[in-house]
Each structure stands twice: as C-alpha cells, then as structure tokens.
Chain A
Amino acid sequence: MKYEHDNGAISVEALNMTMKFGAFTALDEVSISIPAGSFHALLGENGAGKSTLVKCMMGFYHATDGELLVAGKQARMTDPKVAQTLGLGMVYQHFTLVPSLTAAENLVISRTDTPALIDWRRERTALDAFMAKMPFSVPLDQPVSRLAAGEKQKLEILKQLYLGNRFLILDEPTSVLTPSEADEVLGHVRALTRAGEITVLMITHKFREVSAFADDVSILRRGKYVGGGAVADLSIDEMSRAMMGEAPVVSERTRKGTQGQPLMTLHGLRTADRTGLKDIQIDDVTLHSGEILGIAGISGNGQMELMEILTGQRRIRSGTITVNGTAYGATRAEARAHAIRYLPEEPLRNACAPRMSVAENLAFRMFDIGKDGTHVFWKDNRAIAGNATTLIDAFKVKTSSPAAPIASLSGGNVQRAVLGRELTGDVKALIVSNPCFGLDFAAVSAIRDRLIEARNQGTAILLISEDLDEIMELSDRILVMSEGRIAFETPIATADVAQIGQHMAGHG
C-alpha cells in the first residue's frame, strides 16, 4: 500500500477500532485502509457509526480499542490538535466558517501561526498565489455569510489545503448543494486526489456520488463493517443491501386521480427577505386541492420567507393571499375556518413546546374548542388523553408514555406526532417544509406515505423542500425558487432534474 505520495497525500489506516459509550457499542472492531491519493467513501444509514469512526480518527473521541496508522506510522490521537499536526483535516457537515468574517480573514485566522499584527497586503499576495494553484476559487473579500452554499463548501475544502492538511475527511459535503454544484466540487476533489495532493475519506449516503467519484467504499451498519471494496466491483444494489440490511420494503404509493379545485392563491406578494436587503417576489401561485405542489430551491433563496408569509410570521408589503375566494392572513381563527395546517421544518423547535408532554403537544389544535366547535374555558383532560392515544396509535409514534416530554422523542417520532396532529379532521390544505430532513430511511418512507395518502383524500399540499429527490418523488407540479422568485414551473410528467437544477442555481 502506498503510504505517501510525492505530491503530499498521506495514507490512513484504522485497525479494529472499537468505541463504547457505556453499555452501547457505537463502533465494533471496524478496520478500513485508505492508501495515499485515493478517494474513499464511507456509506451508512443514520446511526451506523460513520461519525463515531471519523471522530475517533480525528481525536475528538478516544477509541476504546484499536489502532490508527497515519502514513504507515502508529498515531495516538489524544487531541484534535494531534490530528492537525499529522496533516489530518475535517470538513464538517455544518459549516465551521465564521459567518461575519470575510473568506480571507477566515483563512488567515485558522492558521496556527497567524502573526499578532496582520499585514493584509502581504497576506493577500500570499493568498492570491495560493488560490492561483487551486483548481477552484472563491471571492476572498466577501463576508462568508454572503457566499452561496457551494462556495462555502469550496472554501471549507480550500481552508484545509491552505492549512497544509493532506488527508481530508468530508462529512456529507454535498447535502446543501445542487446536483451540478455537487458534481463540480466533487470533481475538483477527485482531481486533487488523482494528482496525489490529498487523500479523501467522504461520508455520504448518496450512491450516485459513490459510483461517480470514489475509488473504494466501506459500508457500516449498526457499528459494524458490513462490506466494501473497489467501487468498480460493486453494484448499487449490493451496496444498498449491505447498508440497509435486508432490502428495504419500498411502499408502492399509488396516486389516485383527484379533482383539482383552486384552493389558495398567492398574488403579487412582495416582502423583504430576512436580511432586509433583497426582496421576495411571488407573482402568481395557485394551490389546488388533491395535488402536491413542490417548491424546489437551494436553501436561502426565499423558501423560509415564503413559509413565514404563509404561517403569518412575516408581514407582506403588498399582494394578497386568498383562500376559497376570501382574503387570508393566517390567523389561528382563519386557519381553523379554512382547515389549513402547517408542518414547519424542525418541528421540535418550530411547532412544539419541547418540555410539554406528547399528549399536550398533540392537543394544540383541539384543546380550546369543545364538542360543539365553540371556545371552551376549562380544558378537558379526558378528551386530550383520548386524542393523544388515537394519534399515537394511528401515526405509530414511539413514546414511553403520552406524558413524556416531546423533546425526549427521536426526530422521526416528533415529525410523525406533529404530522398526526396537523392531519386530524378534514384538512383542506397542508403546508410542509423539509419534512424529512435528518430522518432515517424508515421514517422518511412513513412520512412520505402519509403525505401521498392525504393528497389522495383531496388535501392540497404545498411541499417546500431542499431535497430535490423528495420533490421529484412526491410532487404533481414543481415550482423552482431562486433569488426570492418563482423561476420555473413544470408538471411532474415533463420534469427534468438537470433543467430544474439549472434554475435552482439561477441559470435559467
């Protein structure tokens, strides 16, 4: 095996890595070896032990047992600083750039030998010289908060190279990128590995990226090494079976023909976005009953603001929202009268009272109305308990008891509980934002089944999602949001991922 490449790349081997948290074994005798200058993919479901493995390699965790060899020599990873001195660097899933600092400031301050007084003229010359050698560049003088997600991801990778790291761990580097941005970034990374400048270990769950870019793959399931080898020798089917265990049951979601009556119309909406610098402009959008209208877009292109407008959290400067022909301002009374419900993203934070019980959280839509539909003063504990039992059963919410705080539930169960609450009764419209973000395969499948089921019963669903696969799978009609506007519209029958991706990136 190649330990060191002439251009700087180094090899890393993990031998029988074991990590125990109390009685729980997160990582069970996992061995992988990554030769210098190779592009290695680490596949696995949520909770398979991928993060634990790389955190052990980087010294954030102290492995219970096992060895790590860096460039063929044994290394004791006692501290993340040790990893840094050995040339190991990690690009995290969530950006670790400092938002208000410019790209140049971020690069210079991340160095260990930043001088006490920074001579910006000299640093800029050095940075420009460094950038000239790189296959891609980013604007250096912009605050990082103004960069697009793809540029931030590139800057994260550039930062590791700038620091002189020769073994990079990329943690789901494409989760916030469009397909074309992802291809571009990964293409550059692969070119760097081919040239022997760096060795890369990429955590992912996208098979497409593994087969298109990686040389080798290792697959983990429940903390164990369950398969791997050269990507060329493995089919996607084999990889998926190793990753999921037995092949997952893909439910056959059938779409019934529905009668699409116009339900909600947005007309000429204008408002400031959350920075107050740009405008959100939604000219003409109509949501019909019995359809799923998908809104695709890269995060930060106005979807969050659109959700806030629809939930009444953001004032509009001009324009109208009408539901069934009457003006709609998203007050609780109006939402109730028109049976419009919401499932915001991160429901634990945005649609729950985390420390209140599951039963109480499930009662948010019904606790203040009596059997005859009028407001009541006293709360009816029996009705609340009955409502909780029904929903917990119907939506298969796993909780120790209805009295447990909802914050103690796993992400998938919180999502199911809130979806259950929002879908009780005769729901005319459901407005959903990123419903499956961060959920595992089974939970994702269950949530999507529920959405299709609601659609088949005639509910109008507005699905705002950053996951293009999800949009493609669920929608009847797709809108693309870019720079605060609806940039593109297409029915699902003629939808083309490449074309949608271009509009997402703003090149329509």
Chain B
Amino acid sequence: MEPVDIGLWGVPLAILGGAIRVSTPFIFVSLGECLTERSGRINLGLEGTLVFGAMSGYAVAYETGNPFIGVLAAALAGACFGLLHGWICKFKGVNDIAVGIAMMLFGMGLAFFFGKPYIQPQAPDLPAISFGFWSDIPQVQAALQVNVLFIAGGILAVAMAWMFRSTRVGLTVRVVGDSTDAARAMGLNPDRVRLLSTAAGGALAGIGGAYLSLYYPGSWTEGISSGQGLMAIALVIFARWNPINCFWAALLFGGAGALGPALQSVGVSEGYYLFFAAPYVLTLVLLIMTSSPDRALQGAPLELSLTK
C-alpha cells in the first residue's frame, strides 16, 4: 500500500505507535521493579537481567522456532538472576544497591559471552494484533499494530494493583515492604518474601528483554538496551510505587522515546540526536519536578534503602 500524505497528523500518530512499541519493555521492567520495591528491596540489576533476557529469549526462540518459548526462557533466566540477588541480599551487612550494580554488570557480561553465536541468525518474531483494520490509511494501520506483550503488560498492571489490594500475597508483600518488625511479629519471614518478590521482578524484567530482541527492534545485538532497565527504576519512583501509574508512566516514556523517529519521519532532521535524548531529559525533569525538599516521598515503601 502506498503511504498517504497526512501531513503533520503523522507526528502524533507516529508517537502513539512508537509509544506502544517503545513502552512495552518499560512496562515489564517497571512492574517487576515495582513488585520488588514494594517488598522493601531495590534491584538495580534489572538492566543486566533485561539484556540477558533479550539474549536468552532470542537464542531459545531461534533454537525452538517458537517465540513464546523464548519469552518463557527469558522469564526463567530473569527469575534466576532475581533469586541470586535476593539470596545474596539475605546476608547481614550486604547492601542491595551495590549487589544490584554488580548483578547488572554480571548479567550484561554473561549475555555478551553466550550471545556471540546469535548475532547473525534470524529468530522468529512475536506476533502483533492489528487494531487498525477499520482504516485505509497505512500510517494508522502501522500505528495500531499492537504487540501481544503490550496487551499482556496492561493486563498485568491491573492484576498487580488488584493483587496488592485484595490478595493475601499482595498484602504480605506490602507488610514486609513497610515494616520488617511488624512482619516478623506476624510470623512472616521477610527474607523469603523479598527473595520471591525479587525473583518475580527479575522474571518480568527478563520478559521485557525478550520483547526487545523478539519484537522491537527484533534482533539480538550487544547494544540492544539503551538503559531501559535503569530508567525503569526512576519510572517506579515517578509512578509512586503504583502498578497502574507504572503503566501510564511507561507509556509516557515510550512516547518521549518515539519523538525523535516521529519527527524524522516528517522530515525534521535538525537537532535529531537531541530528540533521541528526550526520555532521559524527561526522566530528569519529572524526578526533579515531582520531588520536594520539604516533604517525605509519598507512597514509598518504608523499608526501602533508597528512602530510609
């Protein structure tokens, strides 16, 4: 189909499509981090988990020919990284932030080591669902090609919010994240809850990684991540540890990330690299604007080393 000239309407349309495409890994990583942080621990290693998830997901999808098995493998690998992080943090005097940074470098190094043979071959992509069938304009159709993981992420955000409110597991995670003493007094084992939360968070980050290599950009390279795993942590703070807010914040970040390519598509080439920096600038601006020297952070889990 020939592209129809729709003028400047192309920009918001490209941003919308881009937002959906770019935000998906943010959704998964930030939901994972949200879960981990609500249990009172911070996992800075998710960037490494994301890259390893991208590699393992791609590799397994290539070997089996099924992208969903790849996603599953990435989740499993992510859970292993989370378990390792949680297990190390259990020991007395271990700082979760330092462990996270080590885990990040470890995950990336390991992914590059095992990923060498998979840089060339082409693995099958994840499917997408077209919501643009009602329109004749190819740009609309392209923008409304929604990948399955984005939809899964949206459902997951709602499910997680419901879990925190109405399930024993959710309340347990919140208790542990807010007060270790209260949790102990209730006979809960805070270390185990945090271990499992970190593992689940790692699994979600792994899925986020698999999306990168199996959908967009859709191949495994060593430069596949542009810091999504790290920015998701800032995003969780901006979303005030609320899963639904995490979803919207991820969409906002995705939109900012799509700004550069969208403007490029309508011929704006000046300051092109500056627009690519938009998500990072947005991270900084939002964190500064939503913080205050005069009051404590609202909604922060009280056991988080970040806010103590």
Which of A's residues lie within 8 Å of B, judged by CB? 80-81, 84, 92, 94, 96-101, 105, 108-110, 112, 114-118, 120, 271-277, 314-315
**8 Å CB contact of B295 from A94, A100, A120, A274:** A274
Cα separation A118 to B174 with both chains bound (whole Å): 15
> Which of B167, B169, B171, B296 is the one whose CB lies under 8 Å from A101?
B171
Contact across chains for A100 and B187 when beta carbons are under 8 A apart: no
CB B89 to nearest CB in A, in angstroms, measures: 21
Checking A84, A98, A116, A276 against B175 with a beta-carbon cut-off of 8 angstroms, the contacting residue is A98
B residues within 8 A CB of A277?
295
Dominant SS at the A interface? loop
Q: B111 within 8 Å of A by Cβ?
A: no
Are B168 and A116 in contact (CB-based, < 8 A)? Answer: yes
Contact (A101, B178) CB under 8 Å given A110-B186, A272-B294, A275-B296 = yes
Asked whether, in the complex, the Cβ of A109 is within 8 Å of the Cβ of B168, the reply is: yes
Q: Are A271 and B294 in contact (CB under 8 A)?
A: yes
CA distance A315 to B179 in the complex (A): 29
Q: Which residues of B contact A98 (CB under 8 A)?
A: 174-175, 178-179, 182
Closest to A112 in B: B187
A117 CA / B292 CA spacing, docked (Å): 37
Interchain CA distance A276-B290 in the complex, whole Å: 12
Whether B299 and A116, one on each chain, are in contact in the complex, defined by CB atoms closer than 8 angstroms, is no
In the bound complex, residues from chain A placing their C-beta under 8 Å from that of B292 are 276
Q: Known: A80-B187, A100-B302. Contact between A116 and B167, CB under 8 A?
A: yes
**In the bound complex, CA of A112 to CA of B168 (Å):** 11
Q: Bound state CA distance, A98 and B166, in angstroms? A: 16
Please state if A108 and B171 are interface contacts (CB–CB under 8 Å).
yes
* Residue pair A99, B171 in contact (C-beta under 8 Å): no
Given contact pairs A92-B185, A96-B185, A272-B294, a sample of 19 additional A-B residue pairs in the complex whose CB atoms are under 8 Å apart? A80-B185, A80-B187, A96-B179, A97-B182, A100-B178, A100-B301, A101-B178, A105-B171, A105-B174, A114-B171, A116-B168, A116-B169, A118-B166, A275-B296, A275-B298, A276-B292, A276-B298, A277-B295, A314-B294
B182-226 interface (Cβ within 8 A of A): 182, 185-187
A109 / chain B contacts, CB cutoff of 8 Å: 168, 171-172, 175, 186
For B171, list chain A residues within 8 Å (CB): 101, 105, 108-109, 114, 118
At the interface, yes or no: B121 with Cβ under 8 Å from chain A? no
- Contact indicator B167/A117 (Cβ below 8 Å): yes
Question: Cβ of A117 and Cβ of B166 under 8 Å apart?
Answer: yes
Chain A residue with the shortest CB-CB distance to B295: A276
Distance in angstroms between the alpha carbons of A314 and B292 in the assembled complex: 12
Of A80, A98, A116, A315, most B-chain CB atoms within 10 Å: A98
Question: Which 5 residue pairs spanning A and B have beta carbons closest together?
Answer: A276-B295, A109-B171, A96-B182, A96-B185, A98-B178
Measuring CB to CB, which residues of chain B are less than 8 angstroms from any residue of chain A? 166-169, 171-172, 174-175, 178-179, 181-182, 185-187, 292-296, 298-299, 301-302
Q: Please, how many angstroms separate the alpha-carbon atoms of A120 and B181 in the complex?
A: 26
State whether A272 touches B295 (Cβ < 8 A): yes
Interface pair A99/B296, CB less than 8 Å apart: no
Assuming the A-B contacts A109-B172, A118-B168, A120-B166, are A276 and B179 also in contact, with contact meaning beta carbons closer than 8 angstroms in the complex? no
Nearest-Cβ distance from residue A23 to partner chain B, whole angstroms = 26
Tell me the complex Cα distance, A272–B172, Å.
Answer: 33
- Known interface pairs A117-B166, A118-B168, A314-B294. Does A100 touch B299 (Cβ–Cβ under 8 Å)? yes
Contacts of A81 in B (CB 8 A): 187
CB-defined A-B contacts under 8 Å, sample of 18: A92-B185, A96-B181, A98-B175, A98-B178, A101-B171, A105-B171, A109-B171, A109-B175, A112-B187, A116-B167, A117-B166, A117-B167, A117-B168, A118-B166, A118-B171, A120-B166, A274-B295, A274-B296
**In the complex the two chains form, what is the Cα distance from A161 to B169 in whole Å?**
24
A115 near B168 (CB under 8 angstroms)?
Answer: yes
Complex CA gap A274/B179 in Å reads: 20
Contacts of B166 in A (CB 8 A): 117-118, 120
Q: State the CA gap A369–B289 with chains docked (Å).
A: 40
- Please name all residues of chain B whose beta carbon is closer than 8 Å to the beta carbon of A105 when the two chains form the complex: 171, 174
A271 to B293, CA, bound (A): 12
User: Nearest Cβ in chain A — how far from B254, in angstroms?
Assistant: 29
How far apart are A385's CB and chain B's nearest CB, in angstroms? 33
A80–B167 Cα gap in the complex (Å)?
Answer: 25
CA distance A109 to B186 in the complex (A): 9
| Residue from the set B185, B187, B292, B294 with the largest chain A CB neighbour count within 10 Å | B294
Shortest A327–chain B CB gap in Å is 20
Instruction: For residue A101, give the distance in angstroms from its CB to the closest CB of chain B.
Output: 6
Instruction: State A117–B186 Cα separation when bound (angstroms).
Output: 19
Closest residue of chain B to A123, judged by CB? B166
Q: Given A96-B181, A274-B295, are A101 and B174 also a contact pair (CB < 8 Å)?
A: yes
Give chain B nearest CB distance to A76 CB in angstroms: 18
Q: Determine the distance from Cα of A97 to Cα of B298 in the docked complex, in whole angstroms.
A: 18
Q: Which residues of A contact B168 (CB under 8 A)?
A: 109, 114-118
| Complex partner residue of A100 from B172, B174, B185, B186, CB under 8 angstroms | B174
How many angstroms from the CA of A314 to the CA of B302 in the assembled complex? Answer: 21
Whole-angstrom CA separation of A116 from B169 in the bound complex? 7
Q: Considering the chains assembled together, what is the distance between the CA atoms of A105 and B167 in angstroms?
A: 10
With a CB–CB cut-off of 8 A, which chain B residues contact A272?
294-295
CA distance A90 to B175 in the complex (A): 19
Measured CB to CB, the closest approach of chain A to B293, in angstroms, equals 7
Task: Collect the chain B residues with CB atoms within 8 Å of residue A118's CB.
Answer: 166-168, 171
